[in-house]
Chains A and B, each alone.
Chain A
Amino acid sequence: GENVEQHPSTLSVQEGDSAVIKCTYSDSASNYFPWYKQELGKRPQLIIDIRSNVGEKKDQRIAVTLNKTAKHFSLHITETQPEDSAVYFCAAKGSARQLTFGSGTQLTVLP
């Protein structure tokens, strides 16, 4: 089945700096790649997603890139703010038609 690996597991950045989280997937048939943000004690929230027919997507300070050949995708957050501190999960939807999640990245934005 699908395997999604996510790195790093923890990431600390200074406020205003950029943060990058990377994920790799194993199923070459995967066609949908969402990113979720989960604040402590809250539900995961969909923040951005990308389909396999698109290489990059941007929404204000957040962008996602996809490299289908290398089977990896990344989340980029620019001009980080303290409220960006949370756990971020990547996921991939493969031939099994279910979302497989990465193990999560704890992002801490230091003031």
Chain B
Amino acid sequence: KAGVTQTPRYLIKTRGQQVTLSCSPISGHRSVSWYQQTPGQGLQFLFEYFSETQRNKGNFPGRFSGRQFSNSRSEMNVSTLELGDSALYLCASSLEGTGTYEQYFGPGTRLTVT
């Protein structure tokens, strides 16, 4: 079974621009979670989508948004980019059946804001 994939792998943007990142979960997984990873803050939860609905949201400003499609693929969008948004953005997929919590990560998208 193919693992979680993310595109693009690397991205350079300018302050004020917006960006869209994509995540394709493991086949059959219906939950997709997004995380921001930075050296100073570690892994921080952004949001989770399940069956096209946002089920959970972390403490990030409204500039960070996401969505999930009927095939479980997910996108996250960051508008009005700031220098502090430079980070590795990871998505993770989960089967989310009864008692199944395991999350599997994608390789991440490295976003650099200049």
Q: Quick one: which of A43, A45, A51, A101 contacts B42, CB cutoff 8 A?
A: A101
Q: Please give the distance in Å from A102's CB to the nearest CB on chain B.
A: 7
Q: Which residues of B contact A97 (CB under 8 A)?
A: 48, 55-56
Q: Chain B residues near A34 (CB, 8 Å)?
A: 101-103
On whether A98 and B103 interact (CB within 8 A), knowing A43-B90, A44-B90, A104-B42, the answer reads no
Task: Give Cα A103 to B42, complex, Å.
Answer: 5
Asked whether A43 lies within 8 Å of B107 as measured between CB atoms, the reply is yes
Q: Mark A58-100, 1 if CB is under 8 A from B, else 0.
A: 0000000000000000000000000000000101010011111
Tell me the dominant secondary structure on chain B's binding face: strand
Q: Mark A29-44, 1 if CB is under 8 A from B, else 0.
A: 0001010100000111
Chain B count of residues within 8 A CB distance of the other chain: 20
Total A-B pairs, Cβ < 8 A: 47
The answer to whether the Cβ of B104 comes within 8 Å of any Cβ in the partner chain is: yes
**A interface SS class:** strand
Which residue on B lies nearest to A97, using beta carbons?
B56
Q: Are the CB atoms of A99 and B104 closer together than 8 Å?
A: no
Question: Chain A: interface residue count, which band?
Answer: 20 to 34
Interchain nearest-CB distance for A43 vs B (Å): 4
B42-A98 in contact (CB<8A): no
Known: A89-B43, A98-B58, A100-B45. A43 touches B108 (CB 8 A): yes
What chain B residues lie within 8 Å of A103 (beta carbons)? 42
Can you pick out 20 interface pairs between chain A and chain B where the beta carbons lie within 8 Å of each other?
A34-B102, A34-B103, A36-B105, A43-B90, A43-B107, A43-B108, A45-B105, A46-B103, A49-B102, A97-B48, A97-B55, A98-B45, A98-B56, A99-B45, A99-B103, A101-B35, A101-B43, A101-B45, A104-B42, A104-B43
Interface residues of A (CB under 8 A from B): 32, 34, 36, 42-46, 49, 51, 89, 91, 93, 96-104
